[in-house]
């Protein structure tokens, strides 16, 4: 099969490599010439994705994968087109379709009869049918459902473990019509492998959800659930702080029976997914008060953490505070919507002098993100913001002048900090 993957980012490139590994001919299209050149050289353009370097090198060397900046030409030769272009929302939660509109227009210009088009970017409900179908028709002169197939099939993977997640989780597909859905199911069955799982209500594999709208809602629902769950856990943590309780003991007790699945509280909720997709859901459903309040609760956690530190340390005016971890998640070199930004701002508002370090970033890289890199300045307090594995063995020997450590992710060993103030959120 000849496949075009549009956008070779942290999801799109692993997808292209996966498709090529199944023996298909894949062309990846991207507007970034640097990315295209690196892919054609068989070199991963970004680090951190497990197994990508080797698989990419093999796919390019075998001739099954190449990259181009000409999306329209790549689509013209494809039997299936998979679009994984980023979609952003502004501060008010309004989607910005600019990049996806441009990609859709480029796809439409090369679209041929019989082609399958699959959108994998998370979308507000109704976007595939109400926006993309019309744009593809207008740009191609073809009729969606009659001349070409159109489906929505959300990516459900985490960066750093994309290949494992592709096999672990069912692939959801929703078509514009029955014929599109059938084409989508057959396509994904030909490009993916699935783990055997006995914990699912039906066999693992490609699941047809019956409509593009159902598939769009499924992705928003699963990520919004996580945000709401974490928001509840964070509110429990704040209550536990007021009453001298250890919230994790409470949560572990609750989760010992099958009807409670409380997530872990923490200093922040970051990344491209959990802070963003609930806002897309709210764009569809502005009366979803539970979703809105959970988002507010989670967005407030960096400021709350700064308050917890101040309560333990005392007046932070002039105090050097080291924020450990710029990344939004441990082991991932990505700062998208990371809690580090809100935490640094909140520490400054309390008069502290914050610095940031991260084992995955150089000082120059942190400063390029607008963060104050730590270059040996004196610090007397520290906050663990990201759960990097390197912090598990953190001790006073690493931070000899630190009087108070706030572990916002519960990754450090409290016993290692005897004689110093070691605190957690909800503890």
Catalytic residue positions, numbered: 219, 273
What token pair was written down for 108?
């439409």
Task: Kindly state the DSSP code that residue 373 receives in the 8-state scheme.
Answer: B
Q: CB under 8 Å to 386, separation ≥6 — which residues?
A: 324, 325, 326, 327, 328, 329, 330, 338, 340, 358, 409
What token pair was written down for 355?
């610095």
User: Can you tell me the distance from the alpha carbon of 380 to that of 226, in angstroms, rounded to the nearest whole number?
Assistant: 35
User: Can you tell me the distance from the alpha carbon of 33 to that of 242, in angstroms, rounded to the nearest whole number?
Assistant: 53
User: Can you tell me the distance from the alpha carbon of 153 to that of 156, in angstroms, rounded to the nearest whole number?
Assistant: 9
Contact 158, 165 (CB under 8 A): yes
Contact 48, 160 (CB under 8 A): yes
Query: What φ, ψ does residue 244 adopt, rounded to 5°?
Result: 70, 35
Angle in degrees, 0-180, between the axes of helices 301-313 and 339-349, rounded to the nearest 10: 40
- In order of 382, 405, 423, the CA distances from 355 in angstroms are 9, 14, 19
Contact 172, 156 (CB under 8 A): yes
- Closest by CA position to 238, among listed 186, 333, 307, 139: 307
- Decide: helix, strand or coil at residue 94: coil
Q: For residues 259, 159, 184 and 36, what is the CA-based torsion angle, rounded to 10 degrees? A: 170
Q: List the Cα angle 127/129/135 in 5-degree steps.
A: 85
- Closest by CA position to 383, among listed 329, 337, 325, 331: 325
Query: What φ, ψ does residue 228 adopt, rounded to 5°?
Result: -65, -40
Contact 268, 231 (CB under 8 A): no
């Amino acid at each position: 099969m000849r496949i075009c993957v549009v956008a070779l980012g942290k999801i799109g490139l692993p997808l292209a490599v996966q498709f090529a590994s199944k023996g298909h001919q894949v062309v990846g299209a991207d507007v970034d010439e640097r990315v295209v050149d690196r892919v054609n050289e068989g070199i991963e353009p970004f680090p951190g994705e497990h197994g990508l370097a080797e698989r990419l090198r093999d796919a390019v060397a075998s001739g099954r994968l190449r990259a181009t900046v000409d999306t329209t030409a790549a689509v013209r030769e494809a039997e299936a087109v998979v679009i994984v272009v980023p979609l952003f929302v502004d501060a008010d939660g309004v989607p910005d379709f600019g990049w996806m509109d441009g990609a859709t227009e480029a796809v439409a210009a090369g679209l041929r009869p019989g082609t399958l088009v699959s959108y994998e970017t998370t979308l507000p409900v109704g976007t595939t049918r109400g926006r993309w179908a019309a744009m593809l028709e207008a740009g191609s002169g073809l009729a969606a459902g009659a001349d070409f197939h159109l489906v929505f099939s959300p990516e459900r993977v985490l960066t750093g473990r994309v290949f494992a997640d592709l096999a672990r989780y069912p692939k959801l597909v929703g078509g514009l019509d029955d014929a599109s859905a059938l084409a989508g199911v057959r396509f994904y069955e030909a490009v993916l492998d699935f783990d055997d799982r006995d914990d699912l209500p039906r066999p693992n594999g490609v699941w047809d959800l019956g409509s593009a709208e159902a598939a769009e809602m499924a992705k928003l629902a699963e990520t919004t659930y996580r945000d709401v769950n974490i928001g509840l856990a964070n509110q429990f943590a704040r209550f536990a702080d007021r009453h001298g309780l250890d919230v994790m003991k409470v949560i572990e007790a609750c989760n010992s029976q099958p009807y409670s699945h409380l997530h872990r509280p923490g200093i922040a909720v970051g990344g491209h997914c959990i802070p963003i997709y609930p806002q897309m859901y709210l764009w569809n459903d502005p009366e979803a008060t539970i979703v809105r309040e959970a988002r507010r609760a989670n967005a407030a956690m960096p400021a709350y953490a700064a308050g917890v530190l101040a309560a333990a340390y005392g007046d932070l005016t002039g105090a050097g505070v080291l924020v450990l971890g710029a990344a939004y998640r441990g082991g991932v070199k990505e700062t998208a919507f990371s809690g580090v930004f809100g935490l640094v701002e909140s520490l400054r508002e309390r008069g502290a002098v914050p610095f940031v370090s991260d084992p995955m970033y150089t000082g120059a890289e942190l400063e390029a993100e607008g963060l104050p890199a730590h270059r040996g300045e004196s610090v007397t307090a520290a906050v663990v913001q990201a759960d990097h594995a390197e912090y598990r063995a953190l001790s006073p020997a690493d931070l000899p002048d630190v009087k108070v450590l706030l572990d916002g992710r519960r990754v450090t060993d409290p016993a290692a900090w005897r004689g110093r103030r070691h605190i957690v959120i909800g503890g």
